[in-house]
Structure 1
Amino acid sequence: MSETIVIVSGASRGLGAALALAACRPGTLLVTLSRTEPALLAQHAREHQCAHRHYTVDLADPVATEAVAQGLFSELPGGARRYRLINNAGTVEPITPAATLDAAAVAHALHVNVAAAMLLTAALLSSAPSTADRRVLNISSGAGRRPMPGWSVYCATKAALDMYTRTVKLEQQGSGLRIAALAPGVIDTPMQAAIRATLPDAFPAVEDFKALHRSGQLAAPADVAARILDYLERDDFGQTELDDIRDY
């Protein structure tokens, strides 16, 4: 029987893949959600005596996301003492001035960055026993708290995720649920590579991100993942609803 159930969305690469690997611990059931199964995760889980289940889903599809969310909770074994939901899935696209946005790109970002977290959290709230230690961590961004030209969609969706976190915390007062939105800092991931490939006309701050990369100031995903998992288990987790891992 697994005493701890950890669910990680967007686990196929970048920070999500690092979180999934770091969460592989004895006595844990790790559940990952992404379009493709994280490479080598199944073998890694076996080596670390961690049960693992993967659900292939496009988190840009809210109907499919809701179905998977409800299905995975119905299939979880009973008796877990701890539930950890890490809503990590996210996209920085589209990177473009607000005047050039189109419906498909906006909808895709809204579904991945906001709706997926809402639907997975709703499934946990309605399915995980209230007697268990339930914690939800939404991976946000400093962009949700500071506007940047070219990132109108990314900034808006991360700000929405922050406000959603605050609202759920109010709704769940007295229920035992703990929830927080955490900015992870600037990490050396494929998302950062995509940002650096953007033209200055679309994202004026691109040279700043290139300079961070050249000067070695991007954090390693494994290091950040370890710090985030430690943060998730802090006794005071959830007291600060909008947080930044760089403060720890």
Structure 2
Amino acid sequence: MRTATYGATGGTLVILTGASRGLGAALALALCRPGTHLATLSRHKHTKLDAHAAANGTVVQQHPADLTDAAETTRAIDRLFATLPRNADRYCLINNAGTVDPIGPSGTLRQDDIAQALALNVAAPMLLTSRFIAATAGLRADRRVLNISSGAGRKPMAGWSVYCSTKAAIDMYTRSVKLEQGDTGVRIVSLAPGVIDTPMQARIRASQPEAFPALDNFKAMHATGQLSSPDDVAARIVAYLERDDFGQTEIDDIRNY
């Protein structure tokens, strides 16, 4: 890990979860720009991030954290916000970490699997957003939260009762925070990224038909090249995060842009 103090005046500070694989790994690389300070929270280290950040004038700190573990999540968040600078022009939080598991009919689900999904998909982004709002309160800076949601939170699917419910929860949480923050507080969006060629999609295609009736549709999308590339979606999300009208539409889909 490259150690760093966030001491430079101005620039952008971005906090990103789930940065070691899939869309999160692509986002971490896309966010590396001169004047950016990037802090990640991930179970594993992004092996290419440090060198890529150094080549692009980005200060990076990778904080190891298993966000399904409440105690470990709290410790990691405490470490992260203990070093938060007070002099950036823009502060961004991207809650990207998530899991599609458990997959299967509701009558087959196990308590531990449900609890882990709720911890990662709902509790962790709620806690991070809460701490982000409190830590940046009173700063003369642009403050933005981007929750990576899913179309599954807006359309029920058999076999995905937990995943759909957790993403619907994040959508409603986003709406509630927007009401609390009003026009002058933190701007917040819950964004569906579309169907992307990531390890999560590979996990979905490894499902059993009896557990996930829509399995053939996802296999067909992969076979016919209908999945978006992580790099392309990451670039579009970074551009979306920088829009002047960010937050005006709090429930959105990157495929609209």
Q: TM-score, normalised by structure 1?
A: 0.98
Match of 1:153 among 162, 166, 188: 162
TM-fit CA distance, 1:64: 1.7
- The answer to whether structure 1 residue 162 and structure 2 residue 168 are counterparts is no
Match of 1:132 among 141, 152, 161: 141
* Worse overlay, 195-204 or 74-83: 74-83
Partner of 1:193: 202
TM-fit CA distance, 1:61: 1.1
Partner of 1:28: 36
| Letter paired with 1:3 | G
Distance 2:85 2:182 in 1: 27
Name structure 2 gaps, 5 residues minimum: 1-7
TM-fit CA distance, 1:3: 1.5
Distance 2:143 2:79 in 1: 18
Distance 1:78 1:180 in 2: 23
TM-fit CA distance, 1:66: 2.2
Partner of 1:244: 253
1:9–1:34 contact (8 Å) kept in structure 2: yes
Structure 1 SS opposite 2:94: strand
1:150–1:203 contact (8 Å) kept in structure 2: yes
Distance 1:243 1:216 in 2: 24
Match of 1:73 among 76, 81, 85: 81
Q: Deviations for 1:14-58, whole angstroms, at most 9, x for unmatched residues? A: 000000000000011001110111121001000111000011000
Q: TM-score, normalised by structure 2?
A: 0.95
TM-fit CA distance, 1:173: 1.0
Would you identify which runs of 4 or more consecutive aligned residues in structure 1 move more than 2 Å?
Answer: none
Match of 2:224 among 209, 212, 215: 215
* Worse overlay, 70-79 or 39-48: 70-79
Partner of 1:204: 213
TM-fit CA distance, 1:65: 1.2
Structure 1 SS opposite 2:85: coil
Structure 1 SS opposite 2:124: helix
Partner of 1:82: 90
| Letter paired with 1:50 | T
1:66–1:120 contact (8 Å) kept in structure 2: no
Partner of 1:178: 187
Partner of 1:108: 116
Distance 1:90 1:17 in 2: 13
Distance 2:148 2:93 in 1: 11
Report the RMSD for the aligned CA atoms in angstroms: 0.9
Name structure 1 gaps, 5 residues minimum: none
Distance 2:74 2:141 in 1: 23
Structure 2 SS opposite 1:53: strand
Structure 1 SS opposite 2:14: strand
TM-fit CA distance, 1:62: 1.9
Pair 61,175 (structure 1): closer, same or farther in 2 beyond 3 Å: farther
| Letter paired with 1:236 | D
Q: Deviations for 1:206-229, whole angstroms, at most 9, x for unmatched residues? A: 000000000001000000000001
Match of 2:126 among 118, 122, 135: 118
TM-fit CA distance, 1:175: 3.6
Partner of 1:43: 51
| Letter paired with 2:162 | V
1:22–1:225 contact (8 Å) kept in structure 2: yes
Distance 1:132 1:118 in 2: 21
1:83–1:132 contact (8 Å) kept in structure 2: yes
Structure 2 SS opposite 1:200: coil
Q: Deviations for 1:106-127, whole angstroms, at most 9, x for unmatched residues? A: 0000000011101111111110
Distance 1:62 1:228 in 2: 28
TM-fit CA distance, 1:132: 1.1
Percent identical: 62
